[in-house]
Amino acid sequence: MDHRFIGIKPSLCAAAAMYLSRRMLGRSPWNKTLIHYSGGYTKSDMKHVIDLLMKYLIEPVAHEEFFKKYASKKYMKSSILARQWAKQVEAEKLDVMSE
């Protein structure tokens, strides 16, 4: 995906992606159950990776293939939704870590 993610545990990347996706969809806060099933990752454990994911979403598209694939109707235009949400969060200067 991006060289900045080299050296980060895949489970940590997955937990951070789950956290962000739940925020995008307005789901319940990151609670003890999610911490348990994520492998024990708290919001503070994931902050660095969440920041990297947000930067990746806000920056110009680096991997056109991924963006195009997930921009299709088949994938419910998830790449478009994610990028729009991240840009809106940045424009409004919202803290993605606060729930």
CATH code for position 39: 1.10.472.10
Specify if 8 maps to a domain: yes
State the pLDDT at residue 1.
Answer: 65
Answer yes or no: is pLDDT of 62 > 90: no
Q: How many distinct structural domains can be found in the chain?
A: 1
Q: 3-state DSSP call for residue 8?
A: coil
R_g over Cα of the chain: 14
pLDDT class of 63 with cuts at 50, 70, 90 = confident
Specify if 98 maps to a domain: no
Dist. CA 79–CA 66, nearest whole Å: 8
Specify if 78 maps to a domain: yes
Structure tokens at 44: 């503070």
Mean pLDDT of all residues in 9-14: 97
CB atoms within 10 A of CB 59: 11
Each residue's pLDDT tens digit, 21-54: 999 999 999 999 999 999 999 999 999 999 999 9
Specify if 99 maps to a domain: no
Dist. CA 18–CA 22, nearest whole Å: 6
> Domain span at residue 51?
3-92
> Global pTM?
0.91
State the pLDDT at residue 74.
Answer: 95
Specify if 11 maps to a domain: yes
